[in-house]
Structure 1
Amino acid sequence: MKKIAFLGLGRMGLPMARRLAAAGHPLTVWNRSPGRAGDVPGAAAAATAAEAVRGADVVVTMLSDPAAVTAVAAQLTAALAPGTLWIDMSSIGPRATAAVRAQLPDGVALVDAPVVGSVGPAATGDLVVFAGGEDADLDRAQPVLERLGRVRRCGGPGSGAALKAVVIGAIVACVTAFGEAVAVAEELGVPQEQVREVLSVGPLAGVAARAYSTEADFPVRLAAKDLALAGGGPVLAAAREVLLADPSIAEEDLSAVVGSLRRAARAAAA
């Protein structure tokens, strides 16, 4: 079994690390905020990122944003031995991914493999993994990634990060626009039960299911971050502004934007 270093034990990283440990991989874990290593049974805890990756065959990072990945990369890059495979599963976009790749020592490979899915799928291995990299590196990463979800090979280096930016941009913008439509219903006096019933069938059924979800755990602040990674034009920019307009929902799931927009509509009508 490959020796794995797993860095980042947050909402998503913790259940993912547990799955790798349960599969029997020798696992060393590290988290920027100490105290979570004990939540991964059978894993060894490292005091630093560099200590965690020494001697590892595979390094997996699951961090919150480009700044976090850049900071951790500065700590661990020099400790990566030739032949190490680094799988970055953070959502940081193709530009940040390329910047990290440019800093790698000779003989160290990088696969970008961000995911779609929330905490529940992370625990059950039902994430969707968008993997980009050289074919040989993707082959090496496959057994690890398969333990975490359904792997879609996207192409060469950076392609996984790029597709994730496209997909998450579409999802977040659609849920935000859906929330605005529900708020319009509030203003027009259309019963919310009727709105939900009608929008939950037909072409908007998938968006409605996500907008009304009570099980997902994708914080609004991270959704706004992902929209910034996607770049794009005025629609994505407007959706990001809407998400940032209500700081009270920053740590709530993306679906909270629906209630936020309804409250704003009621306040405007008062």
Structure 2
Amino acid sequence: MEHIAFMGLGHMGAPMARRLLTAGHSLTVWNRTPAKADPLVDLGAALATDPAGAVRQADVVITMLADPAALDTVADAVVPALRPGTRWIEMSTVGPDAVRKLAERLGRAVVLVDAPVTGSTDKAAAGELGILAGGDTDGVEHILGRLGRITRTGPLGSGSALKLVLNAAVIGGVALVAEALRLADSLGVDGTTARTALAGSPIGGAVARAFADGVHFDTALAVKDLALATETARLPALEAALDHYRQAAADPALAYADISAAAARIRLA
């Protein structure tokens, strides 16, 4: 099997790396906070002390990082250390511009695939993520298949573009549910009754996410995703949602809490 370098062991990256390790892949891992790699090292992964060290012997590189700035920082260290013929699977939510910028830096010696994911931590652990794959996936589909179901989206950057569309809809929908429940509170409608009625309406999926347990998506990451979306097009409703999430993320207790906690704050604001 290919030797894989996996960089970024946050809420999503850690269970994804574990899936690859338990499937028998040789794995080197790197994370800005090294202690997060300890459970994977206990299972047999090698720990790199820096990004360049992680990729020197890698056939495949996978990045699952927080934002475009983190990807830039890792790329600064990694690009000079990559071997010709390496395949890089970029799975972070960074938007298509960041993916194209990385592709320009890599040139033709390295094949880049953008493959952001849908689903939360539970799906990552179960290998049931949705994988939005843009670019040439030949040679890495068997790896992606261990993480979830692959949807081919088109040329490089199209996976990241579609991921922004989906995240903007879900995150904005959660904020809208919170405001609808605030309206119900103002009108004296019983909260449980309002929630049940909304759950049975066309916006029911967002209601479920607003009250979800056992999953995790940082409020700070919601801010990042909506900022990427609203920088791309004029989206007044999502700009309003972004303001909600920014106010929630300004509270240290909520910044790295799940967006369901932000929804509760929006409802009470």
TM-score by length of 1: 0.94
**Residues 135-176 of structure 1: per-residue CA shift (max 9 Å, x gap):** xxx121211111111111100110000000111011111111
Structure 1 counterpart SS, 2:178: helix
**Matched letter for residue 120 of structure 2:** S
Aligned to 1:254: 259
Aligned to 1:4: 4
Aligned to 1:38: 38
Aligned to 1:193: 192
**Matched letter for residue 220 of structure 2:** R
**Matched letter for residue 209 of structure 1:** A
CA contact (8 A) 1:78 1:105 kept: no
Identical positions, percent:
48
1:262 CA displacement: 2.6
Query: Residues 153-192 of structure 1 correspond to what in structure 2 (within 5 A)?
Result: 153-192=152-191
**Residues 45-93 of structure 1: per-residue CA shift (max 9 Å, x gap):** 1111111101211000010000000000000001111110000101000
Q: Distance in 2 between matches of 1:222 and 1:204?
A: 22
CA contact (8 A) 1:61 1:89 kept: yes
Query: Residues 115-154 of structure 1 correspond to what in structure 2 (within 5 A)?
Result: 115-134=117-136, 138-154=137-153
Moved more, 185-194 or 250-259: 250-259
CA contact (8 A) 2:113 2:135 kept: yes
Aligned to 1:21: 21
Structure 2 counterpart SS, 1:203: coil
**Equivalent pairs, count:** 261
Question: Residue 56 in 1 paired to residue 58 in 2?
Answer: yes
Question: Residue 90 in 1 paired to residue 95 in 2?
Answer: no
Structure 1 counterpart SS, 2:213: coil
**Matched letter for residue 127 of structure 2:** G
Q: Distance in 1 between matches of 2:161 and 2:117?
A: 12
CA RMSD of superposed structures (Å): 1.1
Q: Distance in 1 between matches of 2:132 and 2:75?
A: 21
The unaligned stretches of length 5 or more in structure 1 are 265-270
Structure 2 counterpart SS, 1:92: coil
Aligned to 1:81: 83
TM-score by length of 2: 0.94
**Matched letter for residue 234 of structure 1:** P
Q: Distance in 1 between matches of 2:222 and 2:188?
A: 30
Q: Distance in 2 between matches of 1:168 and 1:71?
A: 24
